[in-house]
Amino acid sequence: MKKHDLVVVGAGSGLQVARAGVQKGMDVALIEEERLGGTCLNRGCIPSKMLIHRANVAETIKDSEKFDINSTIDSIDFKDMIQEVNDEVSSESSTIKENIKKSGVYTLYEESASFVDMRTLQVGDERVKGDKVVIAAGARSKIPPIKGLEDVDYLTSKEALKLEDKPEELVIVGGGYIAAELGHFFGSLGSEVTVLERNNRLLGREDEEVSQRFTAEFSKKYDVRTNTTVKTVSETDQGIKVVAEDKGSKELEIYGDEILVATGRVPNTDLLDVEKGGVETDENGFIEVNGRLETAADKTWALGDIIGGEMLKHVANLEAQYVIMNAIIEHDHPVDYKAIPHAIFSSPEVSGIGKTEQELKREGKDYLKGVYNYEDTGFGSAMKKGGFAKALVSPKDGQILGCHILGPRASMLIHEVSVAMRKGSGKADDIIDSIHVHPALNEVVQMAFESLE
């Protein structure tokens, strides 16, 4: 058995913890069976956003007539596009691996691992034990129990980002952020996209006004079927046949040359046999941790998608910093999850922070609401694209309860609200009294707060 001061399982945000351990002089083992850099770099946010930017360029060209500019797309080199993005991602991942090996201060295990005892894992032919263990092994696509699905060559987001041939007809099962982002990517580049969502709107976790508006806008470009449940999937001479049922029990038959399953994520705890390491999980398989990210097992911490919560890269990075404080530096710091923003890079873009209006209603909390439209600002009018910002504020003390944005650059506009909520007074006046460049697009955020009812 090989013993180490620190064993880190997962080389995404877990890399931060491993580096901190090395800097502290610890003997560190890093376990990663796939490419280093984790989901975000290799099969998530980085390649998807690189490809989505290309979709945005294509959409801009298609919309140019709105600005009296006549332009056309002569061709799209889809295979070259995919190859370029994946080559860049692979190069970055390889550089991480080379630097780790060159350093000579890590023990890198590039095989699958599973727990066999407390802080002890079987890694290939090796048995590895850590005085301290950090689990950052992420999650994978959730595959629903649809009859016949296992018999077709379906896609998850992982395979979709590596497709060499653009689908002529793409059927997407699911209506969350992966469906919204990849639907935009393939649709903007010419695929006919059909989205099948069992709920009554897309992006159901977003503020209801935002998700309703997004669903309406997305439906103008693609065939969006809400309140629809997929029953069976099969291969036919016409392509992949999807049989679904709508809310009225009407049966639908939809065909596509590719089917993308985008129905959520499941943690990799089952692959790791974490229970054998004394680690407890919830009913959905996510690792249970306390406020300091400690698991039920002694000297064992967990972070990132494998613990559930907000499954976002910036949240995993935040959690990594707290694991460093609690496990490496050995200070006692519960994680501060206050004011975590998120964004969906589709078209239109979506971002949000804090409570949604429906959450405030369910909780019986009083709130003031301010809504302002993009087209009512100087720059928003110039862009000729709709959208709005929505501010939710406590009537008692002016504290910002939430903010939600739909429209161009929403992922950027949300940040001033994040700074106000996390590092400012957290009140609406932080936004209202700040001087905003005129006529910059961020005036839509300021005006949403100024227009509070």
The confidence score (pLDDT) of residue 85 equals 96
- Cα(235)–Cα(151) distance, rounded to whole angstroms? 8
Cα(152)–Cα(136) distance, rounded to whole angstroms? 31
pTM: 0.96
Give the per-residue pLDDT at 43: 87
> SS3 string of 321-351?
HHHHHHHHCCCCCCCCCCCCCEEECCCCCEE
pLDDT > 90? residue 173: yes
Is a pLDDT exceeding 80 seen at residue 453? Answer: no
Question: Is pLDDT of 22 > 80?
Answer: yes
CATH superfamily, domain 2-140+266-328, is: FAD/NAD(P)-binding domain (3.50.50.60)
pLDDT higher than threshold 90 for residue 33 = yes
Predicted pLDDT of residue 427? 98
Domain 2-140+266-328 and domain 149-263, same fold? Reply is yes
Average pLDDT over every residue of 275-289: 98
Q: Name the packing angle between helices 177-188 and 208-221 (round to 10°).
A: 30
Could you tell me the fold of the domain covering 342-450? Enolase-like; domain 1 (3.30.390)
pLDDT, position 51: 97
Q: Is 384 exposed, middle or buried (0-12, 13-18, 19+ CB in 10 A)?
A: exposed
| Mean pLDDT along residues 195-208 | 98
Name which of 307, 311, 392 is nearest 352 in CA terms: 392
Query: Region 9-20: what's the mean pLDDT?
Result: 97
Tell how far CA 164 is from the center of its chain: 23
Half-sphere exposure of 427 (CA within 13 A, CB side): 7
Q: Are the CB atoms for 248 and 158 separated by under 8 Å? A: no
pLDDT at 401 over 80: yes
Peptide linkage before 439 cis (omega within 30 of 0): yes
Instruction: Please provide the CATH number assigned to the domain covering 149-263.
Output: 3.50.50.60
Sequence ranges of the domains in the chain? 2-140+266-328, 149-263, 342-450
What's the pLDDT tens digit per position in 40-79? 989 899 999 999 999 999 999 999 999 999 999 999 999 9
Residue 452 and residue 67: Cα distance in Å, rounded?
33
Mean pLDDT of the chain: 97
196, 242 contact by CB (below 8 A): yes
Which residues lie below 8 Å from residue 121, measured CB to CB, with a gap of 6+? Answer: 7, 9, 31, 113, 114, 115, 127, 128, 129, 133, 272, 277
Is residue 247 pLDDT above 90, yes or no?
Answer: no
pLDDT of residue 304: 98
Number of neighbours of residue 80 by Cβ within 10 angstroms = 10
For residue 193, the cross-strand partners are: 170
Is 404 a residue of the active site?
no
374 CB-near residues (< 8 Å, 6+ apart):
380, 381, 383, 385, 386, 387, 388, 389, 407, 408, 441, 444
